[in-house]
Amino acid sequence: MINAPKKIAVFASGTGTNAENLISHFSNSELAKVELVLSNNAAAGVLQRAARWKIPATIFNRKDFIESEKILQVLLDKKIDLVILAGFLWLVPGNIIHAFEKKIINIHPALLPGFGGKGFYGKNVHQSVIDSGAGMSGITIHYVNDQFDDGEIIFQAACYISRSDTADSLAEKIHSLEYRYFPVVVEKLIQHPI
């Protein structure tokens, strides 16, 4: 008997390049499919990307997410197996974390535990890494818990920082690591859960 593909929900707040990379990667997969995109930003580019792939999208506000069971119920109604945060900037509330324990994965654009936590996203992260004089940065894929960027680390990949790097050029290096590794790591996790 062939198992039904796992159902993935992707949360994103911005342009959605990582979300689209995941959608594309699993578009012809028998292992998993992105079934839903959720965003807390009605103007987010990820919504147009989802529409192009004919993936349903849900837009929500802070009250829906934090103060009610509305978003949890959406995930349960869609029978979601795995939740992926791809550039999603809000802390996930406890009701969703408990319902999807060890089934919520985030990607962070630095090598945790350094350069993580509230406010460490996008260019803020890359500028902080450069300002610190660090010789390397990278990506961290980790499980989500009730703290920002604090869950168990699943995978890391690194890149060198040159003296001429800016926040923008470092961002390009990080994006290439994200695009290369994120879908592959998610696929391996679905095949062999930790």
Q: Rounded to 10 degrees, what is the CA torsion of 51, 101, 26, 111?
A: 100
Over range 60-68, report the average pLDDT: 95
Q: How are strands ordered across the β-sheet holding 6-11?
A: 57-59, 32-39, 6-11, 82-85, 104-108, 136-143, 153-160
User: Quick one: pLDDT band at residue 1, thresholds 50, 70, 90?
Assistant: very low
Paired strand residues for 49: none
Cα R_g (the chain), whole angstroms: 16
What pLDDT does 2 receive?
60
Domains of the chain in start order, with CATH, are 6-191 (3.40.50.170)
How would you classify the pairing of strands 104-108 and 32-39?
Answer: unpaired
Indicate the angle between helix axes 17-25 and 45-52, nearest 10 degrees: 20
Phi, psi of 35 (to 5 degrees): -100, -15
Tell me the catalytic residues.
108
Task: For the chain, list the strands marked E by DSSP.
Answer: 6-11, 32-39, 57-59, 82-85, 104-108, 136-143, 153-160
Q: How does pLDDT run across 15-46, given as a tens digit for each residue?
A: 999 999 999 999 999 999 999 999 999 999 99
Q: Rounded to 10 degrees, what is the CA torsion of 72, 15, 110, 91?
A: -30
User: What whole-number distance in Å separates Cα of residue 148 and Cα of residue 128?
Assistant: 17
Phi, psi of 93 (to 5 degrees): -70, 160
Q: How does pLDDT run across 88-128, given as a tens digit for each residue?
A: 989 999 999 999 999 999 999 999 999 999 889 889 999 99
What pLDDT does 3 receive?
77
